[in-house]
Amino acid sequence: MNSINIFYALALVLFSFMLGMTIAYYDAVILRDPPIHYAIESRCLNYTNKDCYTKSDVELIVFGKVLQNQIDCENCDEID
């Protein structure tokens, strides 16, 4: 084998490896369903006001702390 054939063989091996890694990443990260805790956090952030739990109670249950980026009050409808 001369040097050009070795170069082509190495280029083919490198291309095959990179293609395999790209397909594995796509399958592992992009095609998979999101983890369950994403759904729980999404439900918490979209939680409607109900009598059984306040918004801060739900945030404490899901996140372990009260989020500071949202107003937490009893009469939020009056503020709007």
Asked if residue 80 and residue 41 are part of one domain, the reply reads yes
Asked if residue 74 and residue 42 are part of one domain, the reply reads yes
Residue 3 vs residues 8, 57, 71: alpha-carbon distances, Å: 9, 69, 69
pLDDT tier, 22 (very low <50, low <70, confident <90, very high otherwise): very high
Higher pLDDT, 38 or 7: 7
Per-residue pLDDT, averaged over 57-79, amounts to 62
Contacts of residues 57-61 at CB distance under 8 Å and 24 or more positions apart, as own/partner, are: none
Q: How many domains does the chain have?
A: 2
* pLDDT > 50? residue 32: yes
- Say what the pTM is: 0.42
d(CA 48, CA 44): 9
Asked if residue 40 and residue 28 are part of one domain, the reply reads no
| pLDDT, tens digit (0-9, with 9 covering 90-100), for 44-58 | 666 666 667 777 777
Domain that holds residue 69: 34-80
Asked if residue 39 and residue 27 are part of one domain, the reply reads no
Average pLDDT, the chain: 76
Asked if residue 40 and residue 27 are part of one domain, the reply reads no
Asked if residue 67 and residue 39 are part of one domain, the reply reads yes
